[in-house]
């Protein structure tokens, strides 16, 4: 074995996390919801070029893993609002660190 028992636990935890939140869309959806509740087409606009299928797929996945919440309001036409669950809000520190890293090390240097 090349890594210690403790290191192995670290890898396991990361793998666990990646089972739930994986791929760029998941992260971006969670980022958007961390800024406030969003409706379906509202997210489509804010995420720019995501397809209907990709968005529905990732929303289903995140909802099944209880990271986001789907609430239907019986207006006409119907309104559906997505929000973060406790589990989802607990992910915000990850997003925060990721944002910091992107700001400091991303391709586009910050304009002075």
Partner DNA sequence: CCGAATCCAATTAGATACTG
Partner DNA sequence: CAGTATCTAATTGGATTCGG
Contacts with a copy of itself by CB under 8 A lie at: 2-3, 7, 10-20, 22-24, 27-28, 31-32, 35, 38, 42, 45-46, 87, 90-91, 93-108
* Least distance CB 104 / DNA (angstroms): 24
3-state class (DSSP) for residue 111: coil
CA distance 20 to 64: 9
Q: At what angle do helices 52-64 and 23-34 cross, to 10 degrees?
A: 70
Query: Phi, psi (5° rounding) for residue 106?
Result: -70, 170
- Binding partner of residue 37 among a copy of itself, DNA, none, CB under 5 to 8 Å per kind? none
DSSP 4: -
Q: Are 20 and 91 in contact (CB under 8 A)?
A: no
Q: Does 25 bind DNA (CB under 7 A)?
A: yes
Of 17 and 52, nearer to a copy of itself (C-beta) is 17
Structure tokens at 87: 């589990």
- Binding partner of residue 102 among DNA, a copy of itself, none, CB under 5 to 8 Å per kind? a copy of itself
* Least distance CB 50 / DNA (angstroms): 5
- Binding partner of residue 108 among a copy of itself, DNA, none, CB under 5 to 8 Å per kind? a copy of itself
């Amino acid at each position: 074995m090349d890594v210690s028992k403790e290191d192995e636990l670290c890898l396991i935890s990361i793998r666990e996390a990646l089972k739930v939140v994986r791929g760029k869309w998941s992260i971006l959806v969670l980022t958007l919801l961390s800024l406030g509740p969003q409706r379906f087409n509202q997210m489509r606009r804010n995420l720019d070029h995501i397809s209907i299928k990709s968005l529905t797929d990732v929303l289903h996945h995140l909802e099944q893993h209880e990271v986001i919440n789907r609430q239907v309001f019986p207006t006409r036409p119907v309104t559906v609002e997505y929000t973060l669950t406790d589990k989802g809000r607990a992910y915000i520190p990850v997003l925060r660190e990721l944002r910091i890293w992107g700001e400091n090390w991303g391709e586009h240097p910050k304009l002075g």
